[in-house]
Amino acid sequence: MEDSRKQQLTGWVNEQLKQLLADQTVDIRLSSVSGDASFRRYFRAQIGAQSFIAVDAPPENEDSELFVKIAEYIRDAGVSAPKVYAKNFEKGFLLLEDFGDQLYLPRLLQLQGESASASSAREVDKLYHDAIHSLIKIQASVDKKRLAPYHREKLRSEMQLFENWFCEEFLGLKLSDNDRAIIASSFSFLEDAALAQPQLAVHRDYHSRNLLLLEPTRFPVDAGPGVIDFQDAMAGAYSYDLVSLLRDCYICWNPQQVEKWALYYFDMAVKTGIIKGISVSQFRRDLDLMGLQRNFKVMGIFSRLCIRDNKPQYLADIPLVIQYFLEVACKYQEMAPFLDWFEATVLSVAKLKLNLEL
């Protein structure tokens, strides 16, 4: 039996499409496309050769008005975000342009499996270059003053998800006052590092599961990737979205390849004037430390998704996040006390709970 919100959404979409298409015979059913890590659900409305995306975003949990505003900011920057055809903020319903189902991730995984092929390597390069171009456009054109600041309290609350949901709820650790002091010190260090960086528009989830390959028959060849899941955008550290893209929670590339893409971004950002007076070594440090903050956040979020939201599939992605964390944290003396504690207290339990091999 269809749930009541889906029934309401179906009726609303039919009314909107009658107006949009000037067709009184519209009578569509919604087919599920996907859910995501939020309370939002997506459905496809197919009518003839045309298709649309219907969004169910419960207003008590999701801010659809902010979604619409940020979609407009991104589109105005020349980046492919979906058009909003109709909206009902009171009910939490949206009708959007359909970008299709071709996420970056499955294509990248396929190409990664063909890594010996020169043509595959060129395509991977192009996909990342396209994503970096779109990121540069967002950073250069979206006015950060129109976005909420990614302030210290927000950075801290995200990292505390690691302490609360990963360490305590998922691993079942009993943290002492000394444990909490070590954790808090590392959080403060990473907050300081993030706030010291140039502050720009930040998508906050810019990775392979939120970028889509657009069909060349429907979109210009230079349209770049379709960008989705941008509703949590804020004004924060310039390196945040880049590290989300290059040290992706869902696919891993060798460090030499990541370095090439990072420097590709750096050259473009300098030429565009997005960042000024930053050396390559400082850029690498900015990228690394921002990545550690995000690693903390993600370990916590994926644990919460499993425990609170009954989405255990996200646990499979935590080992890669831990791998990123360990590879980077060991390069910075400021993280040594935390790393010692993490390896002595957390890692052995995490290995058992996650079947983790490092």
Question: What domains sit in the chain, N to C, each tagged with a CATH number?
Answer: 4-19+28-97 (3.30.200.20), 104-354 (3.90.1200.10)
Cα 347 to chain centroid, rounded: 26
User: How far apart, in whole angstroms, are the C-alpha atoms of residue 162 and residue 257?
Assistant: 29
Cα 350 to chain centroid, rounded: 24
**SS3 for 209?**
coil
pLDDT in tens, 54-71: 999 999 999 999 999 999
**SS3 for 316?**
helix
User: How far apart, in whole angstroms, are the C-alpha atoms of residue 89 and residue 55?
Assistant: 11
Q: Cβ distance 75 to 81 under 8 Å? A: yes
User: How far apart, in whole angstroms, are the C-alpha atoms of residue 56 and residue 66?
Assistant: 15
Q: Cβ distance 224 to 175 under 8 Å? A: no
Query: Looking at residue 1, what is its pLDDT?
Result: 38
Q: Which of 21, 81, 7, 19 is nearest to 51 (CA)?
A: 21
Query: Looking at residue 28, what is its pLDDT?
Result: 86
Helices (H) and strands (E) in the chain, counts: 12, 9
Pair type for strands 93-97 and 234-237:
unpaired
Query: Looking at residue 2, what is its pLDDT?
Result: 52
User: How far apart, in whole angstroms, are the C-alpha atoms of residue 320 and residue 249?
Assistant: 6
Q: Cβ distance 192 to 84 under 8 Å? A: no
The tokens of 76 are what? 């105005």
**SS3 for 199?**
strand
- Phi and psi at residue 121, in whole multiples of 5°? -60, -40
Cα 90 to chain centroid, rounded: 26
- Please list the ranges in the chain whose pLDDT falls under 50: 1
Q: Cβ distance 349 to 355 under 8 Å? A: no
Q: Cβ distance 14 to 27 under 8 Å? A: yes
**SS3 for 83?**
coil
**SS3 for 34?**
strand
Query: Looking at residue 115, what is its pLDDT?
Result: 66
**DSSP for 108-133, written as a single string:** HHHHHHTTT-HHHHHHHHHHHHHHHH
Helix 255-272 and helix 280-307, axial crossing angle in degrees, nearest 10 = 120
Query: Looking at residue 116, what is its pLDDT?
Result: 67
